Amino acid sequence: MTDRIVLAYSGGLDTSVAIGWIGEATGAEVIAVAVDVGQGGESLETIRQRALGCGAVEAYVADAREEFADEYCVPTLKANGLYQGHYPLVSAISRPVIVKHLVKAAREFGATTVAHGCTGKGNDQVRFEVGIQTLGPDLKCIAPVRDLALTRDKAIAFAEEKGLPIETTAKNPYSIDQNVWGRAVETGYLEDIWNGPTKDIYDYTATPEFPPAADEVIISFERGVPVAVDGVKLSALAVIQELNRRAGAQGVGRIDVVEDRLVGIKSREIYEAPGAMALITAHKHLEDITIEREQARFKATVGQRWSELVYDGQWFSPLKRSLDTFIEDTQQYVTGDIRMTLHGGAAVVTGRRSGTSLYDFNLATYDTGDTFDQSQAKGFIELWGMSSKVASSRDQRVAGQ
């Protein structure tokens, strides 16, 4: 029986050419796998037909938008996932759902190898291959660009020679990856980190310099999951899409950052994540009133480590799974509403309400009738500062000898 290789297929030039390129280099049959995580563009059926037209023996396509929102975006939201405090893990969280379908297709079609279109310089090669090794330890991995010398100029020449049903236009100066959680742009003009991003880079967000009238929105959560916008019940996917539209119209969620890649390179990235950033902001503010102080402090540390693991391709790792359990436990009382004003590139929280809030008006107020016993504060301060006081006395005594 001829060997079969499953290929992560986007429908673009490089992965279309990779179908025939892999076949010629390995003698194997290629099964193209296309997974819709909300990246927009062509229909799955169009992509499927193109894969077959480029020589794939089978084409597996999956509408994974709801799955991506529920099982990958929502956990990221619960963790307030931001790598290095900036990046909402747009590409990092899409790779494991694609990996899941690649391994599923490999089992379904009897493939022994999984291929992806990543280079040897970025993070995605790690995310794909570590994920594949974890879910399918018996499967092998290859990367045509990295392992089989498939360069852009060779891809164009191959496509023209074979008459493949794809356009072979000059390369866009930017590398772009997008899904429902956001959009990532890099390379080209942006590699000079002194250059400011030009307007043509953006697609999910309007320019914040000339915004429309301010947009007030109420986002409702149940146990950390966004469930409604302005009182209208929605799926997690629909909430993200609605916030992408409304926050994007106000220029919310533009991020320009130099981040540390896993391979040791610093990389300049432009991100657009209007829905993600508005939701993370709202979620954080709801946590502020529903999570106990020490638990909240520790969760911030857990969220940072969680984000690093996901960025580094460890979505399926034991540690990430254990951190998921802790984060899920913290969401028990994260239920309520957040009112936000979206305007001029900012998402500003203006109101909070929750039936499980720890905020006690009678303790917090400075007006007559407050229930806080201020007489207890003096003794508390004495005890709280005792160890520092004793140490300082020792230091002064020794210094004076």
DSSP class of residue 333?
G
Residue 309: the pLDDT is 98
Q: What is the arrangement of strands in the sheet containing 266-272, beginning at the earlier edge strand?
A: 175-179, 182-186, 266-272, 254-260
- The span from the CA of 134 to the CA of 146, in Å, is 21
Beta-carbon count within 10 A of 272 CB: 25
Q: Is the dihedral of CA 187, 188, 192, 196 positive or negative?
A: negative
pLDDT of residue 284 exceeding 80 = yes
Average pLDDT over residues 353-370: 89
Catalytic residue among 48, 50, 95, 246: 95
Catalytic residue among 175, 235, 317, 354: 175
Average pLDDT over residues 353-362: 94
Report the half-sphere exposure of 117 (CA within 13 A, side-chain side).
23
**Which residues are within 8 A (CB) of 153 and not within 5 positions of it... i.e. 6 or more apart?**
none
Residue 170: the pLDDT is 58
The pLDDT confidence band at residue 342, using thresholds 50, 70 and 90, is very high
The pLDDT confidence band at residue 1, using thresholds 50, 70 and 90, is low
Answer yes or no: are the C-beta atoms of 225 and 50 closer than 8 Å: no
Task: Map tokens 């990221």 to a residue.
Answer: 76
Answer yes or no: are the C-beta atoms of 311 and 123 closer than 8 Å: yes
Asked if residue 271 belongs to a known ligand binding site, the reply is yes
Answer yes or no: are the C-beta atoms of 142 and 5 closer than 8 Å: yes
Residue 157: the pLDDT is 86
Average pLDDT over residues 145-158: 82
The pLDDT confidence band at residue 101, using thresholds 50, 70 and 90, is very high
Asked if residue 189 belongs to a known ligand binding site, the reply is no
Catalytic residue among 14, 36, 183, 267: 14
Q: Is 95 in the active site?
A: yes
Asked if residue 14 belongs to a known ligand binding site, the reply is yes
% of the chain with per-residue pLDDT over 90 = 80
Residue 2: the pLDDT is 85
Residue 145: the pLDDT is 85
Q: Is the dihedral of CA 131, 272, 322, 312 positive or negative?
A: positive
Average pLDDT over residues 3-24: 91
Residues linked to residue 338 through DSSP beta bridges, in sequence order: 219, 352
Catalytic residue among 4, 36, 91, 124: 124
Asked if residue 15 belongs to a known ligand binding site, the reply is yes
pLDDT of residue 149 exceeding 90 = no
Average pLDDT over residues 17-26: 91
Asked if residue 191 belongs to a known ligand binding site, the reply is no
Backbone angles phi, psi at 115, to 5 degrees: -120, 150
Is the pLDDT higher at 2 or at 301? 301
pLDDT tens for each residue of 156-176: 888 888 888 877 665 666 788
Asked if residue 20 belongs to a known ligand binding site, the reply is no
Q: Give pTM, 2 decimals.
A: 0.93
Q: Is 395 in the active site?
A: no
- The span from the CA of 328 to the CA of 330, in Å, is 5
Residue 353 carries which side chain, given as an amino acid letter?
Answer: R
Task: Map tokens 């102080």 to a residue.
Answer: 293
Asked if residue 175 belongs to a known ligand binding site, the reply is yes
State the alpha helices, DSSP H only, in 213-263.
Answer: 236-249
**Which residues are within 8 A (CB) of 121 and not within 5 positions of it... i.e. 6 or more apart?**
263, 265
pLDDT of residue 369 exceeding 80 = no
Give the chain's domains with CATH numbers.
4-162 (3.40.50.620), 175-291+334-353 (3.90.1260.10), 361-399 (1.20.5.470)
Q: Is 177 in the active site?
A: no
Residue 55: the pLDDT is 94
The pLDDT confidence band at residue 373, using thresholds 50, 70 and 90, is confident
Residue 169: the pLDDT is 61
pLDDT tens for each residue of 74-83: 999 999 999 9
Q: Average pLDDT, whole number, for the chain?
A: 94
Asked if residue 209 belongs to a known ligand binding site, the reply is no
